[in-house]
């Protein structure tokens, strides 16, 4: 049987682990976070915002995803 105390302790531990991952990721230099990635190439009139998103002169948006989509849906790759 689950008690309120066990539920709160479990929730707190999951939240603490998630916070530690986010803080650890944010402390890494940008070059380390994007290690192994190649920057998007841009043609005249295109704007690259970072290593993953660019907007073309005709307002097309290109998102480069580092993982392949294998049936889970594109939102899984973007996470």
Buried b (16+ CB within 10 A) or exposed e, 8-36: eeeeeeeeeeeeeeeeeeeeeeeeeeeee
In this predicted model, what pLDDT tens digit does every residue of 4-41 receive, in sequence order? 888 888 888 888 777 766 665 555 566 555 565 566 77
Domain definitions of the chain by residue range: 1-33, 39-79
Beta-ladder partners of 61: 55
- Strand order across the beta sheet in which 61-63 lies: 47-48, 53-55, 61-63
In this predicted model, what pLDDT tens digit does every residue of 41-75 receive, in sequence order? 777 877 777 667 888 888 888 877 766 666 666 66
């Amino acid at each position: 049987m689950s008690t309120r105390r066990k539920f709160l302790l479990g929730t707190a531990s999951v939240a603490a682990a998630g916070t530690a991952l986010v803080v650890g990721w944010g402390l890494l230099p940008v070059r380390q976070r994007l290690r192994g990635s190649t920057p998007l190439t841009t043609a005249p009139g295109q704007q690259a915002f970072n290593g993953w998103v660019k907007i073309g002169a005709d307002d097309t948006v290109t998102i480069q995803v580092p993982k392949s989509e294998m049936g889970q849906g594109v939102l899984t790759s973007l996470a």
